[in-house]
Amino acid sequence: MIIDHIDRLHLYYGMHPGLDQVIEAMKTLDLDSLPNGRHDIKGDDVFVNLMDTELKPASTWEVHRRYIDLQLVLAGEETIAWAPKDEIAGFPPYDSEKDIQISKDPQRGNPVLLTPGMFGIYFPEDAHMPGLGTGRGRKAVFKIKVMPAAPQAAPTLLNHQGTRELRSHRLMLRRYRLEDAQEAFDTWCSDPRVADWVTWHPHQDVSFTEALIADWIRTYDNKLYYHWVIEKDGRVIGDIAAVGVSDRLMTCEIGYCLGRDFWNQGIITEAMVRVMQYLFLEVGFHRIIARHFIGNPASGRVMEKAGMKKEGVNRQYRDIKDGSFEDLVQYAALREEWLALHP
């Protein structure tokens, strides 16, 4: 569960692709002028329901499986109670058609008053009781599919295997676990220096890191999802992932970050080489790219050491969080060339 204000919604960019769609849509959506009802953002994967609310002193608990709820108060004041699903009794069997379970458990949970502009994000493990208070109001409920359905792809030569455990000389690359959240938060997620050259803002609270990791864990069933935590000597110290997967082009992009205490030790180069070996040899990608902000040449040296070649500059390509744009330097490796150098 996350509670925040709409003015800070952009800070959650990168947490989930569906939430990213909401953030982009909110740049142009005028929710106050839209009529009540459903408005699609990305079909059944992301949409918003606008509604008037009649608040009551008591309501029912609800949980969902397929969708994350982002509930945004537009007018009036609404209290939404929250509790871990396991602490609420009386949920009936899951209604798959409506994606809901409802309980009349009388416990109050943790009530939070939301004023206009405030929102709550409720994940599948979050029981929530909306609509508490007096009077009337208006709200927007964004529905974000937990794992959007992959588009029907043309036949591919790629042998997708997802995030498998990988080992190198010093490192273990593995799937995230919920218990990694505190160490990840302490080591790199909350560090402004680490966040300088990535697309996300430093995490302000470990609960945000926990929610993010929980979402990643839910996505591991998707064999097109490649995302590892970097572990060294029993400590989690960084993150590496392959994104932008294209079956048609047989290509992907590698991104990474590392706790500051572990910089300049060749760790990302080692992790990158092991991931590229897996993606080229076992999955079968033809081309792998990586990019860095032009103001961060050290990352370019990592890419070169990992066997990539500089291809050029994407001019004014990426928003760097303050509203301005920065050039991205692009590197790439081709399967046959790279494997010849890394037998």
- Per domain, the residue ranges of the chain are 2-145, 166-341
Find residue 293's DSSP bridge partners.
328
Kindly state the helix (H) or strand (E) to which residue 83 belongs, with its residue range: strand 78-84
Domain 166-341, what architecture? 3-Layer(aba) Sandwich (3.40)
The rounded percent of the chain whose pLDDT value lies above 90 is 76
In the predicted structure, residue 151 carries a pLDDT above the cut 60: no
Listing DSSP states for 89-133 in one string gives ----S-BTTTTBEEE------EEEEE-TTEEEEE-TTEEEEEEES
Please compute the mean of the pLDDT values over residues 146-174 and round it to a whole number: 82
Check if 2-145 and 166-341 are the same fold. no
For 270-289, how does the pLDDT look when each residue is reduced to its tens digit (9 = 90+)?
999 999 999 999 999 999 99
Q: Which amino acid is at 145?
A: K
What pLDDT sits at residue 112? 93
CATH class of segment(s) 2-145: mainly beta
Listing DSSP states for 272-294 in one string gives HHHHHHHIIIII--SEEEEEEET
In the predicted structure, residue 150 carries a pLDDT above the cut 60: no
Sheet of 235-246: strand order equals 166-167, 171-174, 226-232, 235-246, 251-258, 287-293, 325-334, 309-319
For 16-53, how does the pLDDT look when each residue is reduced to its tens digit (9 = 90+)?
889 999 999 999 999 999 999 999 999 999 999 999 99
Mean pLDDT (the chain) is 92
In the predicted structure, residue 186 carries a pLDDT above the cut 60: yes
Listing DSSP states for 298-341 in one string gives HHHHHHHHTT-EEEEEEEEEEE-SSS-EEEEEEEEEEHHHHHHH
Residue 319 binned pLDDT confidence (cut-offs 50, 70, 90) = low
In the predicted structure, residue 321 carries a pLDDT above the cut 90: no
What pLDDT sits at residue 152? 53
* Distance from the Cα of residue 260 to its chain's centroid: 22
8 Å CB contact between 120 and 70: yes
d(CA 150, CA 318): 25
Closest by CA to 219, choosing from 199, 258, 237, 245, is 245
